[in-house]
Amino acid sequence: MNSEINRQKGFFHDLEVMTRDKRDKYLWQKMKDLLGFAYDNSKAFRTRMDKAGLAPRDIKNIRDWPLIPALPKKELVHLQPAGPDLGGLLTCSAGELRHVYLSPGPIVDPEARHKDYWGFAEAFYAAGFRKSDIVQMTFSYHFTPAGLMMEEPLHEIGCAVFPAGPGNTDGQIEVMTRLGVTGFVGMASFLKIIADKAENKGLDLKNDLNLEVAFVAAERLSESLRKELEERLGMQIRQGYGTADLGCIAYECPEKNGMHLSSRVYVEICDPETKKPLASGETGEVLVTPFNPAYPLIRLATGDLSALEEQACPCGRTAPRLKGILGRVDDTVKAKGQFIYPSQVDEALKNLSGIRSWKLVVTNPDGRDRISLHVLSSGGIDSVTVSKAFQDKIKLRAEIIVSHDEAGFHESNQKIEDQRIWDQ
């Protein structure tokens, strides 16, 4: 039905193609306005600044921004219960909001009344959604913001939405075929369940279903799953990164080479401990400042790890790109003065055949950090090769312990264990 539509080209608004210089000025103006407003209207933010002995006039330019103390996401749970203004985090009363949600944590997620509050419209346009698409929304509409959060941008673009929510695979397939649904929003793993079941029912995934475009989120998307689904269903699948506190942070374009930062946020990649920005391209914690005066979560430390790619993208969008979500801060360890991330170890070992799994353990038997890398081998790998690969990539020495016993290598276990004992 929509095969004439060009899902690859075009932009939702011209903020996506600002020059570097213009972008910096635009961001700084937004940051400065938010800073002043939050200081005057959010008790929680003012307290945070006062404790650091800072006032808005001390933040004179974008380079001063990291002086503002970060707000770790975990702290929201403790800050929020104090009163209907969410512990002074909100700058309006709860009754003035459009929706209020509750996410696991438990964390309250406010939604103010302004247009495209969660900011996903440019992300959905970049993913390929266009006016007159009929879209099946399979995120939940209850308690958490997911369903309504993802529905809003579709209205902005001019799509019709079927509010399916999760589950009920048979019903989902019936709606898809009867309405000629062209777009899917939800988890990629659920799209696979739908595709498998539709095929088992004897449906032809390309002819009986009319799917052309999907936006997926909320779980890690492997390239193999994406490729499989794109081929089987004859559609394009793009992903985005956002949270229930912050809304849209970054999203993929047709090029599929990382996620462009949204024009509605300022993102810093920081040292997980000091929360100070790292050099461009380094892996660190994602800190986000959404330009949202109603709920000004300035420098929210997400606990997610990523790195920035600054090189120009062929799609024409000028915002830097996040190189995917590379793990969680909680799964990392700082040993010998350096952070080690699970994704780095994966990268170091990826070209070595014969390694089925690994686990990194850090101890400090004599007060000095010792790193042991346990590898589960299916034979043919020697510790010298592993040691060299680890050191080449991570620039630290590790004791390599090759094992043939699967015990201790379960996928659900933490890949990095900090077993150091500290003096009180």
List of residues contacting Zn ion (CB under 5 A): 253, 255, 313, 315, 317
Residue 129 beta carbon to Zn ion: minimum distance, rounded to whole angstroms: 16
- Nearer to Zn ion among residue 296 and residue 320 (C-beta): 320
Residue 62 beta carbon to Zn ion: minimum distance, rounded to whole angstroms: 23
Residue 17 beta carbon to Zn ion: minimum distance, rounded to whole angstroms: 10
- Nearer to Zn ion among residue 195 and residue 214 (C-beta): 214
- Nearer to Zn ion among residue 225 and residue 313 (C-beta): 313
Residue 254 beta carbon to Zn ion: minimum distance, rounded to whole angstroms: 7
- Nearer to Zn ion among residue 254 and residue 354 (C-beta): 254
- Nearer to Zn ion among residue 248 and residue 315 (C-beta): 315
- Nearer to Zn ion among residue 254 and residue 303 (C-beta): 254
- Nearer to Zn ion among residue 323 and residue 334 (C-beta): 323
- Nearer to Zn ion among residue 85 and residue 122 (C-beta): 122
Residue 151 and residue 137 in contact, taking contact as beta carbons nearer than 8 Å:
yes
Tokens describing residue 302: 């997400």
Residue 127 beta carbon to Zn ion: minimum distance, rounded to whole angstroms: 12
Residue 256 beta carbon to Zn ion: minimum distance, rounded to whole angstroms: 9
- Nearer to Zn ion among residue 240 and residue 296 (C-beta): 240
Torsion-angle region of 329 (φ positive above 0: left; ψ -120 to 50: alpha; else: beta): alpha
3-state secondary structure labels for all residues of the chain:
CCCCCCCCCCCCCHHHHCCHHHHHHHHHHHHHHHHHHHHHHCHHHHHHHHHCCCCHHHCCCHHHHHHCCCEECCHHHHHCCCCCCCCCCCCCCHHHCCEEEEECCCEEEEECCCCCCCCCHHHHHHHCCCCCCEEEECCCCCCCCHHHHHHHHHHHHCCEEEECCCCCHHHHHHHHHHHCCCEEEECHHHHHHHHHHHHHCCCCCCCCCCCCEEEECCCCCCHHHHHHHHHHHCCEEEEEEEECCCEEEEECCCCCCCEEECCCEEEEEECCCCCCECCCCCCEEEEEEECCCCCCCCCEEEEEEECEECCCCCCCCCCCEECCCCEEHHHCEEECCEEECHHHHHHHHCCCCCEEEEEEEEECCCCCCEEEEEEEECCCCCHHHHHHHHHHHHCCCCEEEEECCCCCCCCCCCCEEECCCCCC
The β-bridge relationship of strands 300-306 and 308-309 is: unpaired
- Nearer to Zn ion among residue 203 and residue 313 (C-beta): 313
What does the angle CA 247 – CA 145 – CA 305 come to, to the nearest 5 degrees?
Answer: 40
Tokens describing residue 165: 């929510």
Residue 183 beta carbon to Zn ion: minimum distance, rounded to whole angstroms: 20
- Nearer to Zn ion among residue 255 and residue 418 (C-beta): 255
Residue 317 beta carbon to Zn ion: minimum distance, rounded to whole angstroms: 5
What does the angle CA 56 – CA 57 – CA 61 come to, to the nearest 5 degrees?
Answer: 90
Residue 308 beta carbon to Zn ion: minimum distance, rounded to whole angstroms: 14
Residue 282 beta carbon to Zn ion: minimum distance, rounded to whole angstroms: 21
Residue 316 beta carbon to Zn ion: minimum distance, rounded to whole angstroms: 7
Residue 277 and residue 270 in contact, taking contact as beta carbons nearer than 8 Å:
yes
